[in-house]
Amino acid sequence: MTTLVLRGRKVVGGCVEGEALVTRDRISGWGGIDPRTGTVIETRHELKGVSFAGKVLVFPGAKGSSGWSSQFHIARLAGKAPLAMLFNEMTTKIALGAVVTRAPAMTGFDRDPLEVIETGDWVRVDGDAGTVTLLDEVDANALETAPAARRPWRVAAVGAAGALAAGIWLRRRGRG
């Protein structure tokens, strides 16, 4: 049963369902996350030590340098990127980060998602329709047809292959 629908603006299209991970702290890409594990490593961040891999990440926006996109791109290659991203403040660094992550991403909501979504809530993000739906219960059918990010066994295989491919690419170019 649906309890709440937020309307917003698409940054990256797509439709996924998953568990929300909410923070009121901005996220720093370069030096703020470990892209190999999808874990926040920033010392004073409220999510320090918590992984956003396979979660719907709800946060105010990005902070720090332009390294944001590279770190989230590496997280995607490692299979540790967020399932979707919902944020309030649009910047060029977060826009590029969302695009390279290739996960549904939205901003510009009619209500602040930080005020209505809590960590652990089950949400459906439909970037194409511009909606975020807070669900009362998990749809069992959605689990069966879930994207790879919600099937850990597949993410590990794809993530390891992606990380290996990225390492080979960097070594061939003398960067790794």
Active site residues: 65
**13 torsion bin: left (phi>0), alpha (psi -120 to 50), beta (else):** beta
Task: Say how far residue 17 (Cα) sits from the centre of its chain.
Answer: 12
CA dist., res. 109 & res. 123, Å (int): 15
Residues contacting residue 66 through CB under 8 Å, at least 6 positions apart: 30, 93
In single-letter form, the type of residue at position 143 comes to L
Residue 66: half-sphere exposure toward Cβ, Cα within 13 Å: 2
Residues 110, 9: Cα–Cα separation, whole Å: 9
For residue 71, give the nearest of 90, 93, 50 by alpha carbon: 93
Burial label, 116 (beta-carbon count in 10 A; 0-12, 13-18, 19+):
middle
